[in-house]
Structure 1
């Protein structure tokens, strides 16, 4: 299966308007954003766990990165409430599920093969950096290495975001809204721009918070 697999093109998906697609496990559904492969795939998805649903134990050969959007995600490493950001590197094993139900944004099999960094952050316990990184933009760092930079950005109301993204960019709206390319992006909207593209966006009247990843798409070129 290939979905939005041309990484040289702009892709926008307003996932909140997509139907939920059942996974092989009862009670776990997904909205697919990009995908190369069948059940074992390089994939970016929004996944919803019903209460008391759980996958069997498995190993992530290519790593797993996720952000909890609502509810509480759990595995043998702990309980991760809404706002948690987790990186499970290649070779890591866990048994994921949710007692009360949750929704996560997840990226699979997209790590550098040598990456062994484990990250577990509850962003609800962090503050944005006091000094804006660009006009109208405050930053909450999550992870950075030689290949990519991951963070949450808070865009002030009506902020104009102008940015040449040399290594490509992905954005997922966590709350609020912005406009780009004549489209309005709201929670669960996802935008991917290829290396060398220019981002021209305007935050909505109430601003927005966005999960942002940059640099990683350069490796696909």
Structure 2
């Protein structure tokens, strides 16, 4: 099911009686800014695992963008990602059968993949669920600390993370005061890993998240200490609701 005009336009969690669909920031035609410090932690079904919901359609099986915090020693039960999972480790060390993934790692686990996530010493991740082409089977693991960053140009250095026919994902470092224009014609998400930037009159700080709709323009300027950001573009033309 392709969702073109999702209602209601939610900034809070809403449960619709009958289909029990949770919708958080579910109008993809709107510019959405979520500030980390103003967004409350919500307990997950697993002890020691809390979440800040950025956008969501669905209950525990959901198309979702979330900041997830694992307390030291916490874990999730083994599970399969029918719609795929994409995450960026932003603090601590995240673990599963594939190994240890310290802060700065970007991982894509495609549809039908399974794992048992944990964090012996604690971790925080930015995670996106059920946002893959269901035929995708590409596994991606990139350590940004060791990645092939492209040479800085006009105050910007860039680390490509993933690209396919429907989306492009990258990490960028912007020098202080750098003005940056990006193609947001097919939608854009940007997450501030550290530093700050100004966009549309708003200043975004560490772990703030911005989503721009299809047809938007993105023009931003890095703050006094520069910015390191995670960027996804080209992916919001076709937003699908997860199967029940």
TM range (shorter): over 0.9
Within a 5 Å distance, the mapping from 1:66-145 to structure 2 comes to 66-132=87-153, 135-145=154-164
CA distance in 2, matches of 1:127, 1:144: 15
Q: Secondary structure at the match of 2:166?
A: coil
CA distance in 2, matches of 1:162, 1:88: 30
Identify the match of residue 19 of structure 1 among 40, 56, 71. Answer: 40
Structure 1 counterpart of 2:239: 220
Structure 2 counterpart of 1:30: 51
Identify the match of residue 192 of structure 1 among 205, 211, 216. Answer: 211
The 10-residue stretch of structure 1 (20-29 or 152-161) with the greater mean CA deviation from structure 2: 152-161
CA shift, 1:220, in A, is: 3.1
Identify the match of residue 199 of structure 2 among 169, 180, 199. Answer: 180
Structure 2 counterpart of 1:51: 72
Identify the match of residue 165 of structure 1 among 153, 172, 184. Answer: 184
8 Å contact 2:168–2:233 — kept in the other structure?
yes
CA distance in 2, matches of 1:185, 1:108: 24
CA shift, 1:77, in A, is: 0.8
Number of aligned residue pairs: 219
CA distance in 2, matches of 1:213, 1:163: 10
**CA offsets per residue over residues 112-162 of structure 1, 9 Å max, x none?**
111110001111112421152xx3322101001111100001112111123
Normalized against structure 2, the TM-score is what? 0.87
Q: Check if 1:149 corresponds to 2:168.
A: yes
CA shift, 1:207, in A, is: 0.8
Normalized against structure 1, the TM-score is what? 0.96
Structure 1 counterpart of 2:82: 61
Unaligned runs of 5+ residues in structure 2 are: 1-21
8 Å contact 1:15–1:33 — kept in the other structure?
no
The structure 1 segments of at least 4 consecutive aligned residues displaced by more than 6 Å after TM superposition are none
Give the 3 Å change call, closer, same or farther, for CA 94–103 of structure 1 in structure 2.
same
CA distance in 2, matches of 1:77, 1:138: 29
CA distance in 1, matches of 2:223, 2:167: 27
Pairwise CA RMSD: 1.2
Unaligned runs of 5+ residues in structure 1 are: none
Give the 3 Å change call, closer, same or farther, for CA 180–131 of structure 1 in structure 2.
closer
CA shift, 1:15, in A, is: 1.7
CA shift, 1:182, in A, is: 1.7
Structure 1 counterpart of 2:25: 4
CA distance in 1, matches of 2:217, 2:170: 19
